[in-house]
């Protein structure tokens, strides 16, 4: 219960613009005994640290959100965010490994889509349009079952796939490549 209170207090303080106080509350909740709320505090705290450019601290915080008893949605969200922290620290190949694991092996559709998106965007940054398109295709293929569900989650998956930032980035990169080709 103390972790839940710390989470809510941290969220309220951050929303009020008291970022350092909010971060302190989140970190105090993340230091409490293991519970779902403790893990949520660590995840929110890591997001706050990343927003402040404190990527090494965020990575350490995110490493605590794993192991037995941690719900898959929290573990997978933490691994996607961990990849982002690694990338910002200049460890892009480790970041891609983290995203690829969640994308291919995860069970939470939202986290998997986010991981596919980040993985594909990283390929685009390296100029690999075809590789990014392959990642997008794999994403759609792996999540097609979840997208077909007649549930709220199925609706969310369809919406996320339809609004893919990766698809937009690929189209933009292809148009740019096309415009750079010489015309004879």
pLDDT for residue 64: 85
pLDDT for residue 79: 94
Domain ranges of the chain: 1-70, 91-184
Contacts 24+ apart (CB under 8 A), 170-176: 170/120, 170/124, 170/129, 170/132, 170/133, 170/136, 173/124, 173/129, 173/132, 174/129
pLDDT for residue 67: 74
pLDDT for residue 141: 95
156, 66, 81, 132 alpha-carbon torsion, rounded to 10°:
-70
Dihedrals φ, ψ of 70, to 5°?
-90, 125
Q: Is 30 exposed, middle or buried (0-12, 13-18, 19+ CB in 10 A)?
A: buried
pTM: predicted TM-score of the whole model, two decimal places: 0.85
Q: Give the tokens for residue 83.
A: 């990849």
pLDDT for residue 95: 95
Residue spans of the chain under pLDDT 50: none
């Amino acid at each position: 219960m103390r972790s839940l209170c710390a989470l809510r207090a941290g969220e309220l303080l951050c929303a009020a613009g008291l970022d350092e106080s909010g971060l302190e509350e989140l970190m105090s909740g993340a230091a409490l005994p293991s519970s779902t709320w403790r893990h949520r505090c660590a995840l929110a705290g890591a997001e706050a640290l990343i927003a402040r450019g404190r990527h090494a601290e965020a990575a350490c915080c995110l490493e605590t959100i794993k192991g037995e008893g941690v719900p898959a949605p929290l573990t997978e969200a933490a691994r996607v965010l961990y990849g982002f922290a690694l990338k910002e620290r200049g460890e892009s190949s480790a970041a891609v490994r983290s995203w690829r694991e969640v994308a291919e092996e995860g069970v939470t559709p939202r986290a998997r889509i986010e991981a596919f998106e980040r993985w594909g965007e990283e390929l685009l940054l390296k100029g690999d349009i075809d590789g990014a398109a392959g990642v997008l295709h794999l994403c759609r293929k792996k999540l097609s079952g979840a997208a077909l569900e007649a549930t709220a989650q199925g609706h969310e998956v369809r919406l996320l796939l339809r609004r893919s930032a990766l698809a937009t980035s690929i189209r933009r990169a292809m148009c740019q490549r096309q415009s750079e080709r010489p015309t004879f």
